[in-house]
Structure 1
């Protein structure tokens, strides 16, 4: 009896290891099978494209968050930065009449300044990343609300002086939020960041910093510079997410990027365990976003009330965190 116990423990370990590596992908396949069986249109090509379109903005924002996690950070301000980018890019066209390229360039430049502010505060004041970016999240959200005066920015809106806004949103800008461009932008970002983090020395340095910043510093790696770069990349992709959001809805709603934060965090942490990576990675984040997208889409098809969605998403995130940290500590 005693001799059999170690064998049983060994089998349990291997089973858990298998589930840790492939659990997310197996869950995705199971959900596809279940929803495809109980609903008529789930497996239609149009619905598959709809799922990919629906997760595009979340994935883009989550990829930026993933890069900040790679250096041991945690950028909670990405939702607010996306809101700010959404407001800025639409206002560049509607309020100021800028052309397609200039509107996007000004928006990205401003959001990179936001990334610099985050990095400066985190690196120089040595405050825990999550706490500092929680504070800046509210600041940037307030900046966006102040800039828009708490109103939706749209074509032909009434300005404070009573006149109608004369600027027009370029038609080419609107295409960025449509299929296939919104999906292509998402996939290009996922592939680019995956290659950067996995196959370049800079990506490996970021992982070293995230694993042990002191050891990385002793190895001659410019820790502060890489952390600055990570926060700039995080702000950049949050800006791209906000821009694509603006192109998709063709206006700027109040705090439009805020609801994407929870899904982005969930996608990034679910991605830790994909294929046993054990660390933030772009492919895993994409898989996490796909899992959330399939869940949301399938539950909507089953007529589950929208206000119950957060229960499911929160449960999935809790499970992902439990598996990730259990694996780390054993």
Structure 2
């Protein structure tokens, strides 16, 4: 009987351990399951060219999501990243073509545009006392409107020297994937090894406690949204490079994909939880899903249904993890 009791206890412990592993590494487990399932369902899925395509498809959303990770870890939300990406790319293309500025200066102006957009959102939230949802929703509209004003509603050709960001190295390694990796590494360093990263977790965990501990919460929030704008600008440049033009409707709806990638990757919308590796996995899950469903000739309408279900499941797992 003692042996049976020990066996039962071991089984229970094994189930509990498996449950903890699944909850703590749900995104990675889901990605592995997806890769295995799609490799059986489609013979083309595991080809080198297709996997590189998945990386390219994930790159822009992942870069946007890295910036959104900072905001969500600090218990905020940024709905403007798609519009800021399009605006930054348009500023670069217009400055280099219509305004005749040197390309390097146009790139600087593009990045500055993204940072300025984030700063404005941060100021509205910190000193204007606007809820993040409202402030960034307003910036979404402002950014998209300015993009249309500058471009007059028409695509603007991208400078050739910058368009190389959409090319490959050695004929096979896509540059957008390299930019994604660099952005991910930068995000991991900021979150894990800097004062601003620790401040993000503190603010997201308990804003009042963070303030009482000496963190200048308002200033940190402005910096956090400026970082989100910076990453959005980089994502916009990468996207426009792939398209060889800055298009006024580029990155439309990407802000939702960015937030979804962060949440699927294990970050909590209530703040205080999130990491760069999880966000990268979340972006890859979205890209793998879309790529696999395309290979299986699934309707684009049903693809939206499937992705929505995945997002709901990710939030449910987050809820279960926090309860545990």
Q: Same fold (TM over 0.5)?
A: yes
SS in 2 for 1:294: helix
1 CA distance for matches of 2:291 and 2:282?
14
Equivalent position of 1:89 in the other structure = 92
Equivalent position of 2:127 in the other structure = 124
Structure 1: gaps spanning 5 or more residues: 155-168
The one of 23, 26, 42 aligned to 1:23: 26
Equivalent position of 1:324 in the other structure = 318
Equivalent position of 1:33 in the other structure = 36
Verify the 8 A CA contact 1:62 1:264 in the aligned structure 2. Answer: yes
Equivalent position of 1:283 in the other structure = 277
Given the two structures, how large is their TM-score scaled by the length of structure 1?
0.87
Structure 1 segments of 4+ aligned residues over 6 angstroms from their partners: 6-12
Verify the 8 A CA contact 2:165 2:238 in the aligned structure 1. Answer: yes
The one of 283, 287, 292 aligned to 2:286: 292
- Structure 1 range deviating more: 277-286 or 244-253: 277-286
Equivalent position of 1:198 in the other structure = 192
Residues 278, 233 of structure 1: alpha-carbon distance in 2 compared, 3 angstrom cutoff: closer
**Deviation at residue 12 of structure 1 after TM alignment:** 6.3
Equivalent position of 2:166 in the other structure = 177
The number of aligned residues is: 311
2 CA distance for matches of 1:16 and 1:79?
36
**Deviation at residue 295 of structure 1 after TM alignment:** 0.7
Verify the 8 A CA contact 1:24 1:273 in the aligned structure 2. Answer: no
Equivalent position of 1:57 in the other structure = 60
**Deviation at residue 244 of structure 1 after TM alignment:** 0.9
2 CA distance for matches of 1:56 and 1:112?
20
**1:264 matched to 2:258:** yes
**1:234 matched to 2:237:** no
**Deviation at residue 10 of structure 1 after TM alignment:** 7.4
Q: For residues 160-179 of structure 1, what are the alpha-carbon distances to aligned partners after superposition, in whole Å with 9 as ceiling and x for unaligned?
A: xxxxxxxxx43221111223
SS in 2 for 1:176: helix
Q: For residues 244-284 of structure 1, what are the alpha-carbon distances to aligned partners after superposition, in whole Å with 9 as ceiling and x for unaligned?
A: 1111101122221223122111101111269xx97121110
2 CA distance for matches of 1:109 and 1:77?
16
The one of 34, 43, 47 aligned to 2:46: 43
**Deviation at residue 143 of structure 1 after TM alignment:** 1.8
Structure 2: gaps spanning 5 or more residues: 169-173
Verify the 8 A CA contact 2:267 2:275 in the aligned structure 1. Answer: no
Equivalent position of 2:76 in the other structure = 73
Q: For residues 117-164 of structure 1, what are the alpha-carbon distances to aligned partners after superposition, in whole Å with 9 as ceiling and x for unaligned?
A: 10110001222212221222122222212222222223xxxxxxxxxx
**1:245 matched to 2:248:** no
C-alpha root-mean-square deviation of aligned residues, in Å?
A: 2.4
Verify the 8 A CA contact 2:73 2:267 in the aligned structure 1. Answer: no
Given the two structures, how large is their TM-score scaled by the length of structure 2?
0.89
